[in-house]
Structure 1
Amino acid sequence: MTSTTLTGSPAKKAPGFIARIGGQNLSLIGALVVVLALFGSLNGNYLSWNNIQVIGQAVTITGLLAVVQTVVIICGGLDISVGSQAGLASVVSAMAFTSAGSNALAGMGAAVAVGLLVGVVNGVVIVYGRVNPTIATLAGLAAYKGVAQLLSDGRAQGYVLNDSIFIFLARGKIAGLPVMIWILLLVAAAVHVMLKYTDIGRNIYALGGNDTAARLAGISINKYLVSVYGLIGMVAAVAGILLTARTGSGQPVSGSEGLELKAITAAALGGCALKGGKGGIGGTLLAVALLGALENGLTGQNINAFWQNVAQGLLLVVAVVIQQRRSGERAIGLPA
């Protein structure tokens, strides 16, 4: 009797456990374990606590952008300009810091204000200009990068590592964990709570799932979309501030170029349906960790960085193919 109960219990509990975690997340966990085991066997220092922290710090900026990219994709939108927004915020934070007499809070405040402004501009162009989000933010990618280069004359600006606040952001630790990782976890937790446990989150999922039904339900679609893009701009500004802290100066392009592709790849790998209405922060964070572990492992094996770009592109394609297969949608160019 006891034996039957013990053997039967896991079988009953397993489906609920899998449902709570999600098949997509279980796949990511499995892939992450494989990557860690593979590179851990090739490099004795790969699984050391120091290297785990290095991976965590390396993915913080990408992680912040991936978290808000997840929100906008759930809405049914996209933001290709997040990397340029982070670069612009980085330049503004360093230049404002210098202009205000080495005042870190002034630099950070100016960066967040600019981030909010460019995010709202994206939202207004998309909503009121009736421009496709991909086209609007593609234009933003070029425009914000250009503004950052004009402001900085194409060069790194300022030097912030003589300031205790920037030093703390770049090198500080709380409870043995780097501050940068704490910032990512706090932002991710806040966005997760918003999406899962508030009316705002439920309305965001509704917008991406069926915008017509959402409109009929009385949801102000325009207000939500502009607000979401404003949120992206603010979090991108935080990423830009961390970029400034890590590099010691405002970076108009270096360090921010390519971040948009990494953020979209992480969101897609994490289970976001690119047509909207589906996704979550947990899956996105797992995908960010997987990308970071893979990149660190390849770098440790002295594999050319160009191959890392190839791997990243392939992962994005794989993620989209899996989504298409699961959704049952007809492939373009093939008979129904």
Structure 2
Amino acid sequence: MKKRKLPEETGIFVVLIAVVAVLSILSPSFRTLDNGLVLLVNGTVIAFLALGQTFVLLTGGIDLSTGANVAMTGVIAALLMQGGLPWFLAAVIAVGAGVVLGLVNGFLVHYVRIPAFIATFSTQGVALAIPLIITGANSVSVKDAGFSWIGQGKIAGLPVAVLLLLVAAVIAGVFLAKTRPGVHLYAMGGNKSAARLAGVNVARTTIMAYAISGFCGGMGGLIATSRLMVGFPATGTGNELFYSIAAAVVGGISLFGGIGTILGAMIGAVLIAVVSNGMNVLNVQSYWQSLVIGLIILAGVAFDTYRRARAGKPVFTLRRGGGSGPDSPAGAPVELPASVRSADTPVAGSPTRGTA
């Protein structure tokens, strides 16, 4: 009888349950329904950023501009509504600006060949400056009451922001698990050179990953601005970036690329939100939160490094007959792990398809 393997997200889910149980014992107010809804809504911005960060991390990159994207898109939306545009149109344009930021990041990383850390750190500075320059470092009030629906509205008792996140997470999960471009993201993170030989369009995949991260940053900006009904140039420039990376890493997304799932990243985001909310409820000083989250990141990275070292081999293996490197001559077919393999994916021993 074949042994059933527990999902990779089981470990982080057990940790989440344990943390919730401990905080519930320490503070009766933590386990109330009202606090649970506040926790979920507060965590949606971080979760959206973690969702976008997941796509970039899977390629082996990183996006440091996500927090600045929240500030930029929020202010843009507020200014457009102040100028008379309907809130829905202003929201679409603002998210579009976030996607443009992501496209610029992808272009710099792939075509200009600037390391992702440097490229996105630079665009972070630009995105931070834009709302400060166009507002004179002043906040922008939102008068269109309809805009509040995004961050404050409810459908069947559930916050709209949480429902938007759930829809985005489901779509992202299906995209990564069931589509050819999704498989290509894993392939790039596992071995970019091998993926290119297997027919992966590296340029398109890289730019797509950063564009999705830009979109998620834009959604985070809309939610943050809608909740306050004010466009602050400094929104998203606190711990949002820090927490989004932490959520993805503790959720099992490898900083080295090619490993992880959307479900894991979302559980990680909930864990970060629970820890932050729990410490607030317990009246713990804010700087202790950064220390705890930092330790969580260290634990996640250490586990990721240990996991890779114990595996003793890369995600992708090249067989005889071609490839790059001493043991893999050029032209070798690429063997994808079963978890990310699809019917359209070239596997070892079969001819590769054209560029996708």
Structure 1 and Structure 2 fold alike (TM over 0.5): yes
Q: Tell me which residue corresponds to 1:97.
A: 81
AA of the residue aligned to 2:4: G
Q: CA RMSD in A?
A: 1.6
Q: Tell me which residue corresponds to 1:327.
A: 308
- The answer to whether the 8 Å contact 2:252/2:265 transfers is yes
Q: Give how far 1:29 is off.
A: 1.6
AA of the residue aligned to 1:30: V
- The answer to whether the 8 Å contact 1:243/1:251 transfers is no
Q: Tell me which residue corresponds to 1:119.
A: 102
CA distance in 1, matches of 2:133, 2:169: 32
CA distance in 2, matches of 1:98, 1:219: 44
Q: Tell me which residue corresponds to 2:341.
A: none
Are 2:4 and 1:16 aligned? yes
Q: Kindly provide the CA deviation profile for residues 30-49 of structure 1, in whole angstroms up to 9, marking residues without a partner as x.
A: 21122111111122121122
Pick one of 66, 90, 114 that aligns with 1:107: 90
- The answer to whether the 8 Å contact 1:55/1:292 transfers is yes
Return 5+ residue gaps in structure 2 as ranges: 311-356
Compared with structure 1, are the counterparts of its residues 213 and 283 closer, same or farther at alpha carbon in structure 2 (3 Å cutoff)? same
3-state SS, counterpart of residue 46 of structure 1: helix
Q: Tell me which residue corresponds to 2:29.
A: 45
Q: Kindly provide the CA deviation profile for residues 59-115 of structure 1, in whole angstroms up to 9, marking residues without a partner as x.
A: 00000010110111111111011000111000000001111x251023112202211
Q: Which stretch shifts more, 254-263 or 304-313?
A: 254-263
Pick one of 145, 148, 152 that aligns with 1:163: 145
CA distance in 2, matches of 1:212, 1:255: 35
1:168-187 matches, within 5 Å, as 168-187=149-168
AA of the residue aligned to 1:118: L
What is the TM-score normalised by the length of structure 1? 0.89
Q: Give how far 1:191 is off.
A: 0.5
Pick one of 248, 261, 268 that aligns with 1:287: 268
AA of the residue aligned to 2:38: V
Q: Give how far 1:251 is off.
A: 1.7
AA of the residue aligned to 1:128: Y
Q: Kindly provide the CA deviation profile for residues 133-167 of structure 1, in whole angstroms up to 9, marking residues without a partner as x.
A: 0111111111110112111211211324x422x22
3-state SS, counterpart of residue 255 of structure 2: coil
1:1-336 matches, within 5 Å, as 15-16=3-4, 18=6, 21-22=7-8, 25-99=9-83, 101=84, 103-160=86-143, 162-164=144-146, 166-328=147-309
3-state SS, counterpart of residue 328 of structure 1: helix
- The answer to whether the 8 Å contact 2:59/2:186 transfers is yes
Q: Which runs of 4+ in 1 moved over 2 A?
A: 254-258
CA distance in 1, matches of 2:233, 2:89: 19
Q: Give how far 1:17 is off.
A: 5.1
Q: Tell me which residue corresponds to 2:333.
A: none
AA of the residue aligned to 2:48: L
AA of the residue aligned to 2:191: N
Q: Kindly provide the CA deviation profile for residues 166-186 of structure 1, in whole angstroms up to 9, marking residues without a partner as x.
A: 222222111221111001111
3-state SS, counterpart of residue 4 of structure 2: helix
AA of the residue aligned to 1:242: I
Larger RCO of the pair (alpha carbons < 8 Å, separation 6+): 1
3-state SS, counterpart of residue 252 of structure 1: coil
- The answer to whether the 8 Å contact 2:51/2:213 transfers is no
3-state SS, counterpart of residue 30 of structure 2: coil
AA of the residue aligned to 1:38: V
Q: Give how far 1:255 is off.
A: 4.0
What is the TM-score normalised by the length of structure 2? 0.84
- The answer to whether the 8 Å contact 2:29/2:281 transfers is no
